[in-house]
Amino acid sequence: MPDPRGTLEMRLSVAPPTGGPATFPAGKVSAAPHRAAYVVQPVALDRICMVKLVRDRKKVPDFELSELKSSIAELGLSNPIRVESRPDGDFDLIQGYRRLSAYRELLKETGDVAAYGAIPAAVTEPGADLDALYRRMVDENLVRKGISFAEMAMLALDFASDPGTSEDDPERAVAVLYKSASYQKRSYIRSFMTIVRRLDKALLYPQEIPRSLGLTLARRLEEVEGLAMAIRAELADWDNRSIADELDVLRRLCGAVEDGAGQAIRPAPRPSRAAAGTRTSFTFDRRHERCLCIAAKGRLDIRLDRDFSAIDRTRLEQALRLMLDQVAP
């Protein structure tokens, strides 16, 4: 007896290339009966837009993209991307950011328009609500190997910030997007949202933060006033840092800003970095304010929430002379 739920198999002749010279053999598409049918066809890369769904993709190396490019060059694309047609004749990307990125890089590197000027895409008509499109994108990211908690947190924040979605609260957005995840995993994602909110622009490699470090860092950012500022200062003007460099700063500062009694202490000197020179930073409380100090070769920065230009020049000079007599006699 056939399964009462049924399945629907449709053989589709692939439509002619949309704006590109590439050709593809006829394909076979299977879909559940309740899902909208789609046509797989080649779509020109320059006609695919990435604005419908917010994607907070940081400009950092994707170490697995080269493997994907090699696979595409040798075997072709195993799964088409998914796009939605637009009234102007172009298409919005729904799924397949990395596959599209690989095609664009291959086209740039080879100049082979016939091979990489268009990409196989499952084209659907407009109609799906934005929440469903975000969940579809999230589902794809969850099955992709190695997606990090930071990236999942970014997706939730993007979802909440998009005016077209049903939820504008990031905490509740996690529950909407990650329904299938365990309560514990959703809790981890919410913790990483703290890191993304406080440090996103300062970090080059948030996706490399391991879970244990991320949970500690998120907790310390909530507990320790000035920690985010100290991390930002430590990473400022250090664009050539490695993943290990960045993680070392996070481990060192989130573990050494305060001792068990809550008193500010000076962290151990940071490892030297040949390209940028040695630098040490620390914070401490003075009366009713937090002071951040950054020491480097030929430079000492003291940061307080006050206007030093308002201090009498003679008085400021005398204070600096006294300090220098103590630290650099």
For the stretch 160-213, pLDDT in tens is: 877 767 778 888 888 888 877 888 988 999 999 999 999 978 999 998 899 999
Biggest alpha carbon–alpha carbon distance for the chain? 96
DSSP assignment string, 58-94: -SS--TTHHHHHHHHHHH--SS-EEEEE-TTS-EEEE
Query: Rounded CA gap, 264 and 251, in Å?
Result: 16
DSSP assignment string, 6-22: --EEEEEPPPPPBSS--
Instruction: Give SS3 for 41.
Output: strand
Does residue 118 surpass a pLDDT of 60?
A: yes
- pLDDT of 59-74, one tens digit each? 555 556 788 888 899 8
Nearest 5°: the CA angle 192, 185, 245 is: 35
In the chain, pLDDT over 90 holds for what percent of residues?
21
In the chain, pLDDT over 70 holds for what percent of residues?
69
Mean pLDDT of the chain: 74
Mean pLDDT within 15-29? 40
The pLDDT of residue 55 is 52
Nearest 5°: the CA angle 226, 185, 151 is: 60
- pLDDT of 287-325, one tens digit each? 667 777 777 777 787 877 777 888 888 888 888 888 888
Q: Which residues pair with 303 in a beta bridge?
A: 292
Does residue 10 surpass a pLDDT of 90?
A: no
Domains belonging to the chain, first-starting first, are: 8-128 (3.90.1530.10)
